[in-house]
């Protein structure tokens, strides 16, 4: 039995190669104590664009990283194809704020992409039409009758247009709501920023961890901002 196990280990090592060994190596924390999020699609996570990793914008505290990995695993238990796509976390140096954000930087925040369907409700594998905004778009504006949080608009660069009414995509309410629910159920998550009309649509109105960032901040119906303890 022992020799079989040894053989299996040898075969495993030779078959893995350097790439897999690289993935398996635990991330060394930076001097600020931050670790990088997985960039290769393993652990149910990947950057929405490669530059979030290549530019070192994917750093988090080990505890926040673990919580996000667990959230991705829980989401895949409900939606096996769902990958959690991240945008900005923090830089490796832990400096707050992390431009262009008003916050981020200490490894306790991350921005996550929403999920979308086509107009007939079939899930889309990726986020549509985001090249100009790096994933911080397209927004899911209020439907007729839903709450409008900033009727006067937002200040400065925080203002972004609604997508066109004839757009070929819609928000995937199921997957997006599931991710928010999984996050706020985790004791390591302090709060989640989404727009009030989504908070209401998802049946989460008044939840102590679901917050509105305000009209001075970027709109949060195009991404989910997560704060960890």
Residues that bind Zn ion (CB under 5 A): 111, 225
Q: Of 115 and 136, which has the nearer Cβ to Zn ion?
A: 136
User: Are 124 and 174 a contacting pair, CB within 8 Å?
Assistant: no
Where helices occur in the chain by DSSP H, the ranges are 2-24, 51-54, 62-78, 173-184, 196-201
- CB-nearest residue to Zn ion: 225
Nearer to Zn ion, 175 or 225 (CB): 225
CB of 104 to Zn ion, least distance (A): 6
Ranges of beta strands (E only) in the chain are 35-36, 45-47, 59-60, 84-86, 109-113, 116-117, 170-171, 189-193, 210-211, 223-228
Q: How far is the CB of 93 from Zn ion (least distance, A)?
A: 18
**Please, which residue, 201 or 225, has the CB nearer to Zn ion?**
225
Tokens of 17: 């190669």
Q: Pick between residue 111 and residue 222 the one whose CB is nearest to Zn ion.
A: 111
Rounded to a whole number of angstroms, the minimum distance from the CB of residue 55 to Zn ion is 16
CB of 225 to Zn ion, least distance (A): 3
């Amino acid at each position: 039995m022992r020799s079989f196990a040894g053989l299996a280990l040898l075969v495993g090592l030779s078959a893995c190669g350097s790439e897999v060994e690289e993935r398996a190596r635990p991330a060394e924390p930076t001097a600020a104590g931050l670790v990088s999020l997985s960039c290769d699609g393993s652990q149910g996570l990947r950057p929405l664009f490669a530059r979030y990793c290549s530019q070192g914008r994917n750093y988090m505290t080990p505890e926040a990283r673990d919580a996000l990995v667990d959230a991705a695993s829980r989401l895949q238990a409900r939606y096996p194809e769902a990958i959690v796509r991240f945008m900005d976390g923090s830089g490796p140096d832990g400096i707050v704020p992390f431009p262009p954000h008003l916050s981020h930087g200490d490894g306790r925040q991350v921005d996550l992409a929403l999920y979308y369907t086509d107009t007939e409700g079939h899930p889309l594998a990726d986020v549509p039409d985001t090249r100009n905004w790096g994933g911080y778009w397209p927004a899911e504006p209020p439907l007729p009758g839903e709450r409008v949080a900033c009727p006067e608009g937002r200040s400065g660069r925080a203002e972004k247009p609604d997508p066109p009414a004839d757009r070929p995509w819609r928000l995937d309410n199921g997957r997006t709501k599931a991710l928010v629910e999984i996050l706020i159920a985790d004791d390591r998550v302090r709060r989640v920023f989404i727009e009030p009309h989504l908070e209401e649509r998802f049946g989460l109105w008044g939840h102590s961890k679901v917050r509105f960032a305000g009209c001075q901040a970027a709109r949060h119906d195009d991404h989910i901002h997560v704060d960890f303890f």
